[in-house]
Amino acid sequence: MKRKICIVVASYYPDVTRFLLKGTTDFLKKNGIKNFKKIQTTGVFEIPVLIAKNINKFDGFIALGCVIKGQTPHFHYISKSTINALMKLSIDYKKPIGNGIITCLNKSQALNRSSPNKKNKGKEAANGMLSVLNFKLYG
């Protein structure tokens, strides 16, 4: 069965999300998924809206982005509301959404978590989404 996957990328930190996107697309291709579309937005807060607008067009989604803690509580509000919205969409529509939105204390930590030479969170999000998409009951 041919699966259609949508990758929604927030480009606010392009040097971070470029690595997340590469990890994601490399993993999908390695696992035989060639039918994917990329949608770009500016920040992570917009990702759930774009997924909601496209929820019936794709079998699974991967959300990629980065939120770095600053001097205000903005970090906590954006992170929590975005993650909660993604989970609600996934449950309500029974569609897997891989969470590759990294929340970090500083830019160095963000680059480390998106590095192609280490544990790339984009790759991990793609793996999580595929594992739910391909879930089978045994027994």
| DSSP per-residue codes, the chain | ----EEEEEE-SSHHHHHHHHHHHHHHHHHTT---EEEEEESSGGGHHHHHHHTTTT-SEEEEEEEEE--SSTHHHHHHHHHHHHHHHHHHHHT--EEEEEEEESSHHHHHHHH-TTS--HHHHHHHHHHHHHT-----
Clarify whether 74 is annotated catalytic. Answer: yes
Candidate list 34, 53, 74, 80, residue with the active-site label: 74
Enzyme catalytic residues: 74
